Amino acid sequence: MKAIVGLGNPGKDYQDTRHNIGFKVIDAIADDERITIKKNSYNSLIGIGKVNTEQIILVKPLTFMNNSGTAVKDIVKRYDVKLEDLLVVYDDLDLVLGRFKIKKDGSGGTHNGMKSIIDHLYNDGFPRLKIGIDVPGRRENGSSVDYVLNNFSRAEKLEIQDVLPEAADAVECFITHGLEKAMNTYNQRQ
């Protein structure tokens, strides 16, 4: 089984923030594949279904961003997910808005959700899809924490609406054709 985990914060207050782009990608995949996402006892909203012939679980941790590792560890253990079959989708301040990148592994950088997952899994060897949220002037206009916890501007929302289907397609490529094909296909477009 492949697990696709979108990072974000639960609750209406965070629903449209930049930090919740991972949740948005999970929702787009669930819509595409007609998978129902519901609450479970593993600190997450989950949906189980198939993409082509591949069994998948879509995951939206409810532990808040900085504690995402707790939920991810539970899902990996409960569903016996191999690390190479775990794909984490999250916002990235080092990528420009509208771009995304698929990576095989790596550190959590400055992203607390990724740091938490790596700490709980004792491993950084799992694929990830990083979606850019940086815009010109962001670094000069306040803290990163304030920025990621604020909603997208109207213009940014339009740009993100264009990115979501392509990011969902990249995830579906990972599911059906593997990491290398997804990286070769979608990282080239960026």
> What is the set of active-site residues?
19
Three-class DSSP labels, 146-184: HHHCCECCHHHHHHHHHHHHHHHHHHHHHHHHCHHHHHH
Distance between CA atoms of residues 124 and 189, nearest Å: 25
Give how far Cα 107 sits from Cα of 21, 42, 110, 136, 181, Å. Answer: 19, 25, 9, 25, 22
Which secondary-structure segment (H or E) carries 93?
A: strand 86-96
Would you say 124 and 106 are in contact if contact means Cβ atoms under 8 Å apart?
yes
How big, in percent rounded to 5, are the helix, strand and coil portions of the chain? 45, 25, 30
